Amino acid sequence: MNFYNVYNKYGNFSFDEFFGKVTDEGIKKTLRTEKLNLNHFLTLLSPGAGGYLEDMAKIAHRITVQYFGKAIQLYTPMYLSNYCENECVYCGFNRKNPVHRKKLTLDEVEKEARFIASWGLCHILILTGESREMSPLSYIKSSINILKKYFSSISIEIYPLTEDEYGGLIEAGLDGLTIYQEVYERTAYDRVHLSGPKQDYMFRLNAPERALKKGMRTVSIGSLLGLGGWREEAFFTGLHAQYLKEKFPEAEISVSLPRIRPSSGGFEPEEKVEDASLVQIILALRIFLPRLGITLSTRECSELRENLMPLGVTKISAGSTTKVGGHTIKTNEGDKPAQFEISDKRGIFEIKDMLLKKGYQPVFKDWMGNG
Amino acid sequence: MSDILTIGDKEIKNRLFIGTGKFPDKAMIKMVLEESKASVVTVALRRIDMKSSNENILDYIPEGCIVMTNTSGARNAKEAIRIARLAKASGAGNWVKIEVITDNKYLLPDNEETIKATETLSKEGFIVLAYMNPDLIVARRLVRAGASAIMPLGSPIGSNRGFKTEEIVKIMASEIKAPIIVDAGIGKPSDAARCMEIGCEAVLVNTAIATAEDPVSMAKAFSGAVVAGRLAYTSGMGRATEQANASSPLTGFLR
């Protein structure tokens, strides 16, 4: 039994038919329900529920403050390498894109680490493109060994690994995994992943479970909004999160809801996900899974990020760059988008001040993985 | 007559313990602690950064307030032990609230792992306060393992549901010699007063204060409730009975 079996149960499910049957009464009843089931969750994702965003927001805000308090955790991503063997139409690292390719030397990893750590940030997310040749596991391990001198919690967002490989990295000091399915809907997945190892849908889908079996503390999953129908994708994201939470109750599961941004590949999403839709997804997820972590990246603009925070967000990135070595190494790339374009360009201290002003405690440290 | 709670070698004047995880900012924590004259505050080591250039939460704790680090985030005894040792090594003292949680849905504590961690840490000289799911037998084992105080939950963490575990905690309070401190779920000052009225030695509150519109006043309200509840307990409360007591005794004719 793995998540694929759960996902498959919805093979013949008609979302449109379900949404068509949602009534105002059903939505109001759902909003009065304390423990939501999957039908309730779908009801909140329905077009009809779009008219109840304010009611949903009040509930979501109350739940978030109750379970997470007025505190937002901060982290920043650090790109180690952008060599990639995949051809994903939406990504700037697509192997066919003529972007400048770079992989940090271990000295450069240390330089970036020292710089980011000087902000006082204790959580780091390291990223690579998918290339076992250019950024092999040994390289990831060596990087973790350096990073653990500077950070108390290290997460990876790299290619999916085997169970034993996750185990090895956890032993080296890793405690978090971020891996987005990008799009759960199978045919859409095949449509946007034209070549490369990422074409293996199943290996990616079951990666969170493999990591959790080895004791990974935190796992972040998600769908890249814009690649498939957002209501369906939000539903599968919630379904996946619920499945992982029930199977691994000791782990912290969170979701991220990235919307497609302009990238150096120039890809335009088939469906534009509006702000109101993003809001509806966050609210539905928060009400469905009250203790779920929700991450918001710098893909979104500063104003929207600030407005979304009280609705259920628990973690935000800051001071981000999607360029390899983007904090300390000067390149000739200019300002063109790298993997994707950053919208909220504020530095960590500006974000910190903003949070305090908004009545939120900026949390720079929330775990000590390698003491 | 003085009525002072003693844990380890420390005398604790204020029986309201305060948690710090959910406050909007650290300056607010300081105000709450000062205004409520708190004696004990709990801080998660996972949130303390000794190396950072950023201000540290410990800088905001008034002098004389005992810092009890907690092992929030620990999923087993081994992790709780590691966190407690880190706390001690980083100068946060030897008071530790052991918190081992293997269920992230309801955040209920794992009693078995808590006993294991208590055993090891108390041998190492820690003053252990053990957060637990109320259970008399487990409480006895925790005391045997060296716990200085037992902290049963009132209802799930952060739920504000109040003192739902009263029946079991009441038994624990009458049977266990170590102080019983109700931790988690206390939503209103009246809940806190109730804990004290039945003989608990203290109460720990976080969410209900931190998420109040005016946390400082709410902390004072809780502080007052704890004092009132304690005084009621030590004054010997009249027993509440189901029926009215007949004013003319049924056996009065025997006189």
This complex has an ipTM of: 0.71
Q: Does residue B130 sit in helix, strand or coil?
A: strand
Task: State CA A302 to chain mean position distance.
Answer: 18
* Burial group, residue B97, by CB count within 10 angstroms (0-12, 13-18, 19+): buried
Amino acid letter, residue A296:
L
Identify all chain A residues contacting B26, using CB atoms and an 8 Å cutoff.
361
For chain A, say whether B109 makes contact (Cβ under 8 Å): no
Identify all chain A residues contacting B47, using CB atoms and an 8 Å cutoff.
363, 365-366
For chain B, say whether A10 makes contact (Cβ under 8 Å): no
- Left (φ > 0), alpha (ψ -120 to 50) or beta: where does A215 sit? left
**Chain B residue with the nearest C-alpha to that of A365:** B47
Using alpha carbons, select from A269, A264, A268, A267 the residue that is nearest to residue A335. A264
A residues 50..89 contacting B (CB < 8 A): 65-71
Q: Does residue B39 sit in helix, strand or coil?
A: coil
The set of residues, in sequence order, having a beta carbon less than 8 Å from that of B136 and lying 6+ positions away, is B168, B171, B172, B175, B176
| Phi, psi (degrees; rounded to nearest 5) at B67 | -95, 120
The distance of A53 to chain B (nearest Cα, Å) reads 23
Write out the catalytic residue numbers of B: 97
State mean pLDDT over B148-171.
89
Using alpha carbons, select from A199, A179, A319, A158 the residue that is nearest to residue A256. A179
Q: Distance between CA atoms of A310 and B40, rounded to whole angstroms?
A: 30
Angstrom CA distances, A87 to A28, A153, A257, A330, A347, stand at 44, 31, 22, 27, 32
Q: Does residue A256 sit in helix, strand or coil?
A: strand
Do B184 and B152 touch, CB atoms closer than 8 A?
no
Residue A15 confidence (pLDDT): 96
For chain B, say whether A149 makes contact (Cβ under 8 Å): no
Assigned architecture for domain B5-235? Alpha-Beta Barrel (3.20)
Domain ranges of chain B: 5-235
Give chain A's end-to-end CA distance (angstroms, integer).
Answer: 35
Contact A250 B48 (CB under 8 A): no
Identify all chain A residues contacting B22, using CB atoms and an 8 Å cutoff.
65, 68-71
State mean pLDDT over B218-235.
93
Contact B52 A120 (CB under 8 A): yes
Write the residue in B45, B54, B107 that is nearest to A120 by C-beta.
B54
Element (H, E) at B57: none
A residues 93..112 contacting B (CB < 8 A): none
The distance of B168 to chain A (nearest Cα, Å) reads 25
Partners of A48 in the β-ladder: none
A284 vs B56, more confident: A284
pTM: 0.85
Using alpha carbons, select from A14, A189, A171, A1 the residue that is nearest to residue A86. A189
| DSSP class per residue in A146-173 | HHTTT-SEEEEESS---HHHHHHHHHHT
State mean pLDDT over B57-84.
88
Q: Does residue A240 sit in helix, strand or coil?
A: helix
Residue A331 confidence (pLDDT): 59
Write the residue in A65, A69, A250 that is nearest to B104 by C-beta.
A250
**Chain A residue with the nearest C-alpha to that of B87:** A371
**Chain A residue with the nearest C-alpha to that of B75:** A250
Do A361 and B25 touch, CB atoms closer than 8 A?
yes
For residue B12, pLDDT beyond 50? yes
Size of interface A-B (CB pairs under 8 A): 81
For chain A, say whether B18 makes contact (Cβ under 8 Å): no
Count the Cβ atoms, other than its own, within 10 Å of residue A257. 27
Residue A69 confidence (pLDDT): 87
DSSP letter assigned to residue B37: T
* pLDDT in single tens digits along all 371 residues of chain A: 899 999 999 988 999 999 999 999 999 999 999 889 999 999 999 999 999 999 999 999 999 998 898 889 999 999 999 999 999 988 888 888 888 899 999 999 999 999 999 888 889 999 999 999 999 999 999 999 999 999 999 999 999 999 999 999 999 999 999 999 999 999 999 999 999 999 999 999 999 999 999 999 999 999 999 999 999 999 999 999 999 999 998 999 999 999 887 666 667 777 789 999 999 999 999 999 999 999 998 888 888 888 999 999 999 988 777 788 878 876 555 545 466 666 777 788 888 989 999 889 888 888 887 64
Element (H, E) at B218: helix B215-234
Residue B246 confidence (pLDDT): 62
